[in-house]
Structure 1
Amino acid sequence: MLPEHLLAFEQRWPRHTPQKDRAIRTELGVTPARFYQLLHRAAASPRGIAADPITARRVRARTAA
């Protein structure tokens, strides 16, 4: 999965809900735990930051908290 796709998905689903878990499984084909691993990597990558700096910063800030 490309960083820009993961960040775009996170932008559409900013809060963790049961509906988001279902969407992760159906749209992305991974478990929620794996999605969040990939999302954190994407938010820290130069490609992810370039694709969506606001969402990447929000994800990094949430991880640091």
Structure 2
Amino acid sequence: MTDDTVLSERDRAVLAMEQRSWPGAGAKERAVRERLGISPVRYYQLLNALLDDPRALAHDPVTVNRLRRVRDGKRERR
């Protein structure tokens, strides 16, 4: 039985990847494939969904709010 108020291990790992700074895009994409076993496209799909998940906000408000600001800024520039 799962607890609907707790993020999955994979979701926590996705947020943890966003807490790091990366020397370049290639390093991050490589780490996504090696550590999470998913494609970068799937990673960003999961990340975008997490930004709208209240459980993610409760788990890591600093990272989620920072990424929401970035996402909202990109949307405004379009």
Normalising by structure 2, report the TM-score.
0.71
Q: In the alignment, residue 47 of structure 2 is paired with which amino acid?
A: L
Q: Which has the larger helix fraction?
A: 1
Moved more, 4-13 or 39-48: 4-13
Distance in 1, Cα, partners of 2:57 & 2:29: 24
C-alpha contact (below 8 Å) 1:7/1:43 kept by paired residues? no
Distance in 1, Cα, partners of 2:38 & 2:24: 15
Larger relative contact order, structure 1 or 2 (CA cutoff 8 Å, min sep 6): 1
Normalising by structure 1, report the TM-score.
0.83
Report the aligned-residue RMSD: 2.0
Q: Which has the larger radius of gyration?
A: 2
| Identity rate, percent | 38
